[in-house]
């Protein structure tokens, strides 16, 4: 069908296109406690087509994209492709080019969905549960994804990669009071030992939440982020460096610019990586056929390069950019001990911690935290934290030690100063 | 006009029936959901424009559900040879057999479940629409959305860009079991305007409003009214301040009322959570969870919105459930398998992100009933508080009845009058029974909105709608 679509595009006079065939084999297992609730499998094939039409004597480029179903009849296919070509003629963007650099052959990864699924199940069975801390339920998702890409410049690639996810809910109870903690771990394949360790850590947090008191009305406090929620903080830097946001003038972190008026804080360095060990997006090409060039996007607080689609990157004057799926934030200057000096809140569980990538607002309801003050530690819950990244960046500090969360490597602990805390007592 | 049912699904129906018949020889229960939904997304702004023939719910594929010896299994696929269904049957046998090998190797016990009822039923529904996304004149729509963006740039203060977006989807679904043959077709549409501008401190503010409903691209005409509201909205955001954290009297506009309905007692009474003992609601059936003014409905039949289907993704007819009646929690909503496990009835809330995803209990229309107060009476009753408007996001905690709502803006009220001061953004947190228990006034009007999507945890995105009247209560704002 891949070849048929190309032939039809050619017959319809469409000379500029991108075509991606994606086959996803997915295995899923749903458990309540450790009993199998349901098992599922799927095999789904899609053909994504993007057609381009030169307009206004080549000064503009029209484009439209869509899916062709593998069960589409010949006439359905013709109709869908003609429709895309018509739609492309309606959408005038300033001209840009498609990737034209030939790619080296990419070694194909063998993905064993059976083995990955088995590792997930045995890792969950190995979690140490007690009378009061136990697993409520978990859902295992294992995927083998195969992609074949070709554009009209003759750029082609084929990749196969694993993408896994497990959603785990744990309970902690005391007398008649029970709470739950939710975790969503993503990775390439299953690292069984790490999974067991991470679930047991969640259970420890659950135990603490049971005895937590109300968050005091601190109004302002330094906050240490030491869990995966901190990825939200560093993704603010990632998005600010995207060509899409910069071209749309929603980020002014243009190349060569200091990203903040630094005072006492650690300067962020952000690196675009082609791969990370066991990341669910560890492959060297992007979805438009561009080789992912590893480089610093921000170095010591100074903007160096953007990342993004071919269209947005070219508008910013960069033809050798690419989309990026893995990012590394370098460690800072502080040891963990140094970061923990003085009074501070350590927040480890939120309802949904968010940092707005455009506005920079920091917001989250506190489900579990530790209020370290005057040599004491109170376990707290409730209320919320808020602030802005613009105010936080100049003074933020982070540890030398780093931690990987799927497609992100970030400092293990991050301290933001003087955030607003809404307490409930 | 009627939204015509998919010719493709009609074409494969005999083959799907044959698949069901063949698999029924070896399984205790067999059903297949087949989908063929088409649509478009058009996005126009000053800096980029795009058209795709996909939306959040466009798809074509099939999912088989089978049960043997108390274990339910599913297999999803989107390639089938109508002349040779036995190839698909062999693949289903082979794949599910491999999965059973792993379950045996890991000694995984099964959560045993009975056999789903399968009373005979035939249904064919084609809902009304003025236009269809697949045959619409996109040239006119592209020009209209571009014009909205252009005029937004002229009228919205300090706008760096104005993004106009329209999405329309024509859903066709077919459910076949041994005794059921259900087919439905309907169209829903949604559109948004989003403008971006920096305030004096250089912080980017986003003004955002949408329209949605059951029907075709004609619904996007309503964006003209949205454009007229955008300049004032942006002015308010640019002049906004940070709120002083604390507990306040609040009036929620219908959008925020809907957000509370959705997060508080929407997710909290999804009964697949009862099966897992993940929701406090299970223990509160028949008990008070809100003031006398709180009556809440849920169901695809409640409102002709973006999620007004005739049957759900498990072949259960759409329902209209009274979840809370005058403050008393009466029941939850339930998918078919959870109902079987709990000994209750399914309510038509078994939904999938698409054919390749599992069915969970999910919301459709979640709506607070109206009250008897006028908005002016509600305003006049507030000593010091905020009128909250503009949904950003929300998160539930059914086990602990916590709630987090991130809200675009709060309009200060002092001594019964709006002062003109605006705070933004606002995070509202609290304990659900307190929030609902403190409701003292509800307005006579009601609005239901259905833009965007709803996830279960952080995945499984589906269309939902929610709303209600203006409500007066108390909440913690930060």
Whole-number pLDDT of residue B462: 97
Whole-number pLDDT of residue A319: 85
Answer whether B457 touches A (CB < 8 Å): yes
Selecting from A92, A121, A390 the residue whose C-beta is nearest the C-beta of B108 gives: A121
Residue A396 vs residues A25, A413, A419: alpha-carbon distances, Å: 43, 11, 11
Which residues of chain A neighbour B80 with C-beta distances below 8 Å?
71
CA angle B298, B299, B301 (to 5 degrees): 135
Burial class (CB in 10 A: 0-12, 13-18, 19+), A75: exposed
CA angle A264, A268, A269 (to 5 degrees): 145
Contact B478 A88 (CB under 8 A): no
Contact B60 A178 (CB under 8 A): no
For residue A149, give the nearest of A340, A332, A20 by alpha carbon.
Answer: A20
Answer whether A153 touches B (CB < 8 Å): no
Answer whether B48 touches A (CB < 8 Å): yes
Which residues of chain A fall short of a pLDDT of 70? Answer: none
Which residues of chain B fall short of a pLDDT of 70? Answer: none
Q: Which of B35, B38, B48 to mutate to test the interface with A (most CBs of A within 10 A)?
A: B48
For residue A114, give the nearest of B104, B99, B92, B107 by alpha carbon.
Answer: B99
Whole-number pLDDT of residue B405: 92
Say how far apart CA B391 and CA B368 lie, in whole Å: 16
Secondary structure string (H, E, C) spanning B136-158:
CCHHHHHHHHHHHHHHHHHHCCC
Contact A363 B60 (CB under 8 A): no
For residue B451, give the nearest of B437, B439, B440, B467 by alpha carbon.
Answer: B467
Residue A57 backbone dihedrals phi, psi, to 5 degrees: 55, 35
Q: Which domains does chain B have, with CATH numbers?
A: 7-106+122-238 (3.30.2290.10), 246-477 (no CATH)
Selecting from A42, A247, A351 the residue whose C-beta is nearest the C-beta of B76 gives: A42
For residue B405, give the nearest of A229, A363, A356 by alpha carbon.
Answer: A363
Please state whether the predicted TM-score (pTM) of the whole model is above 0.90.
yes
Q: Provide ipTM, 2 decimals.
A: 0.95
Answer whether B94 touches A (CB < 8 Å): no
CA distance A230 to chain B (A): 17
Q: Which of A178, A244, A351, A357 to mutate to test the interface with B (most CBs of B within 10 A)?
A: A351
Enumerate the β-bridge partners of residue B321.
B298
Selecting from A37, A69, A365 the residue whose C-beta is nearest the C-beta of B60 gives: A69
Which residues of chain A neighbour B277 with C-beta distances below 8 Å?
136
Secondary structure string (H, E, C) spanning chain A:
CHHHHHHHHHHCCCCEEEEEEEEEEEEEEEEECCEEEEEEEEEEEEEEEEEEEEEHHHCEEEEEEEEECCCCCHHHHHHHHHHHHHHHCCCEEECCCCCCCCCCCCCCCCCCHHHHHHHHHHHHHCCCCCCCEEEEEEEEEEEEEEEEEEECCCCEEEEEEEEEEEEEEEEEEECCEEEEEEEEEEECCCCHHHHHHHHHHHHHHHHHHHCCEECCCCEEEEEEECCCCHHHHHHHHHHHCEHHHHHCCCCCCCCCCECCCCCCCCCCCEEEECCCCCCCCCCCECCCCCECCCEEEEECCEECCCECCHHHHHHCCCCCCCCCCEEEECCCCECHHHHCCCCEEEEEEECCCEECCCCCEEEEEEEEEEEEECCEEEEEECCEEEEEHHHHHHHCEEECCEEEECCEEEECCEEEEEEEEECCC
Contact B429 A422 (CB under 8 A): yes
Contact A40 B75 (CB under 8 A): yes
CA angle B251, B257, B258 (to 5 degrees): 165
Answer whether A74 touches B (CB < 8 Å): no
Which residues of chain A neighbour B393 with C-beta distances below 8 Å?
352, 354
CB B462 within 8 A of CB B432: no
CA distance B427 to chain A (A): 7
3-state helix, strand, coil split of chain B in percent (to 5) is 25, 40, 35
Q: Which residues contact B197 (CB under 8 A, 6 or more apart)?
A: B156, B157, B158, B159, B160, B204, B205, B207, B234, B237, B238
The CA R_g of chain A, rounded to the nearest whole Å, is: 24
DSSP at B268 = G
Contact B60 A84 (CB under 8 A): no
Which residues of chain A neighbour B478 with C-beta distances below 8 Å?
383-386, 420-422
Number of A/B CB contacts below 8 angstroms equals: 244
Whole-number pLDDT of residue B400: 80
If phi > 0 it is left, if psi is from -120 to 50 it is alpha, else beta; for residue A360 that is left
- What are the tens digits of pLDDT across the range A137-149? 999 999 999 999 9
List chain A domain ranges: 2-209, 213-422
Q: Which of B57, B204, B396, B405 to mutate to test the interface with A (most CBs of A within 10 A)?
A: B204
Which residues of chain B neighbour A352 with C-beta distances below 8 Å?
393, 395, 404
Answer whether B397 touches A (CB < 8 Å): yes
Selecting from A44, A354, A382 the residue whose C-beta is nearest the C-beta of B78 gives: A44
Answer whether B104 touches A (CB < 8 Å): no
Contact A29 B99 (CB under 8 A): yes
Q: Which of A18, A69, A315 to mutate to test the interface with B (most CBs of B within 10 A)?
A: A69
CB B471 within 8 A of CB B263: no
Say how far apart CA A387 and CA A364 lie, in whole Å: 10
Whole-number pLDDT of residue B213: 97
Answer whether B53 touches A (CB < 8 Å): yes
CATH of domain A2-209: 3.30.2290.10
């Amino acid at each position: 069908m891949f070849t048929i679509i190309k032939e039809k595009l050619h017959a319809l006079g469409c000379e500029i296109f991108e075509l991606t065939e994606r086959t996803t084999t997915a295995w899923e297992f749903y458990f309540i406690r450790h009993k199998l609730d349901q098992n599922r499998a799927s095999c789904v094939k899609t053909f994504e087509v993007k057609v381009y039409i030169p307009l206004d004597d080549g000064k503009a480029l029209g484009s439209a994209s869509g899916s062709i179903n593998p069960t589409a009849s010949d006439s359905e296919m013709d109709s869908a492709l003609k429709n895309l070509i018509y739609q492309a003629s309606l959408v005038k963007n300033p001209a840009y080019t498609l990737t034209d650099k030939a790619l080296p052959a990419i070694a194909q990864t063998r993905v064993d969905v059976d083995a990955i699924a088995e590792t997930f199940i045995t890792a969950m069975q190995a979690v140490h549960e007690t009378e009061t801390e136990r697993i409520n339920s978990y859902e295992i998702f294992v995927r083998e994804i195969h992609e074949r890409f070709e554009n009209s410049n003759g750029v082609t690639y084929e990749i196969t990669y694993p993408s896994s996810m497990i959603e785990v809910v744990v309970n902690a109870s005391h007398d008649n009071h029970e709470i739950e903690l939710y975790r969503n771990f993503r990775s390439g394949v299953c690292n069984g030992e790490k999974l067991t360790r991470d679930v047991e850590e969640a259970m420890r947090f659950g135990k603490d939440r049971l005895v937590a008191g109300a968050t005091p009305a601190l109004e302002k406090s330094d906050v240490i982020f030491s869990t995966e929620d901190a990825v939200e903080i560093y993704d603010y830097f990632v998005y600010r460096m995207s060509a899409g946001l910069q071209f749309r003038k929603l980020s002014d972190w243009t190349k060569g610019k200091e990203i903040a008026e630094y005072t006492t804080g650690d300067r962020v360095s952000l690196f675009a990586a082609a791969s990370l060990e066991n990341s669910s997006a560890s492959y060297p090409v992007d979805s438009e056929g561009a080789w992912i060039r590893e480089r610093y996007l921000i170095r010591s607080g100074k903007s160096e390069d953007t990342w993004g689609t071919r269209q947005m990157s070219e508008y910013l004057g960069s033809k050798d950019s690419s989309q990026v799926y893995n990012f590394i934030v370098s460690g800072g200057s502080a040891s963990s001990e140094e970061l923990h000096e003085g009074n501070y809140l350590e927040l480890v569980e939120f309802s949904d911690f968010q940092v707005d990538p455009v506005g920079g607002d920091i917001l989250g309801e506190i489900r579990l935290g530790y209020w370290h003050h005057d040599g004491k530690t109170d376990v707290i819950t409730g209320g919320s934290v808020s602030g802005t990244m613009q105010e936080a960046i100049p003074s933020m500090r982070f540890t030398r030690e780093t931690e990987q969360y799927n497609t992100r490597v970030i400092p293990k602990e991050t301290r933001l100063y003087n955030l607003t805390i809404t307490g409930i007592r | 006009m009627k939204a015509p049912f998919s010719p493709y699904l009609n074409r494969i129906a005999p083959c799907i029936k044959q698949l069901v018949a063949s698999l029924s020889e070896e399984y205790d229960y067999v059903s297949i959901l087949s989908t063929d939904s088409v649509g478009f997304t058009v996005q126009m702004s000053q800096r980029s424009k795009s058209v795709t023939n996909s939306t959040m719910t466009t798809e074509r594929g099939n999912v088989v559900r089978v049960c043997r010896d108390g274990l339910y299994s599913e297999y999803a696929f989107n390639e089938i040879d109508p002349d040779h269904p036995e190839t698909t049957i062999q693949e289903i046998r082979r794949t599910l057999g491999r999965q059973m090998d792993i379950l045996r190797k890991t000694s995984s016990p099964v959560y045993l479940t009975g056999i789903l009822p399968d009373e005979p039923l035939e249904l064919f529904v084609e809902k009304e629409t003025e236009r269809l996304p697949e045959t619409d004149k996109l040239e006119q729509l592209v020009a209209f959305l571009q014009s909205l963006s252009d005029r937004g740039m002229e009228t919205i203060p300090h706008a760096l860009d104005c993004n106009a977006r329209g999405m329309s989807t024509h859903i066709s679904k077919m459910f076949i079991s041994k005794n059921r043959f259900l087919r439905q077709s309907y169209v829903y549409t949604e559109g948004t305007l989003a403008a971006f501008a920096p305030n004096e401190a250089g912080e980017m503010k986003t003004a955002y409003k949408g329209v949605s409903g059951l029907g075709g691209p004609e619904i996007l005409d309503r964006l003209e009214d949205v454009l007229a509201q955008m300049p004032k909205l942006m002015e308010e955001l640019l002049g906004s301040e940070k709120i002083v954290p604390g507990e306040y009297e609040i009036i929620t506009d219908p959008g925020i009322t809907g957000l509370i309905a959705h997060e508080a007692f929407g997710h909290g009474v999804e009964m697949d959570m009862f099966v897992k003992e993940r929701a406090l609601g299970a223990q509160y059936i028949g008990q008070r969870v809100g003031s006398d003014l709180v009556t809440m409905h849920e169901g695809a039949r409640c409102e002709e919105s973006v999620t007004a289907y005739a049957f759900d993704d498990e072949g259960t007819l759409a329902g209209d459930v009274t979840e809370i009646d005058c403050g008393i929690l009466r029941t939850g909503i339930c998918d078919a398998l959870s109902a079987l496990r709990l000994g209750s009835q399914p309510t038509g809330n078994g939904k999938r992100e698409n054919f390749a995803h599992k069915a969970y209990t999910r919301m459709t229309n979640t709506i607070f009933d109206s009250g008897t107060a006028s908005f002016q009476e509600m305003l006049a009753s507030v000593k010091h508080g905020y009128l909250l408007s503009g949904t950003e996001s929300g998160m539930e905690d059914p086990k602990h009845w916590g709630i987090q709502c991130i809200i675009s803006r709060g309009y200060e009220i002092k001594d019964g009058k709006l002062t003109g001061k605006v705070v933004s953004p606002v995070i509202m947190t609290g304990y659900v029974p307190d929030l609902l228990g403190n409701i003292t006034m509800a307005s006579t009007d009601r609005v239901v909105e259905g833009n965007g999507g709803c996830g279960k945890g952080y995945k499984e995105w589906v269309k939902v709608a929610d709303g209600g009247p203006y409500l007066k209560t108390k909440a913690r704002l930060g």
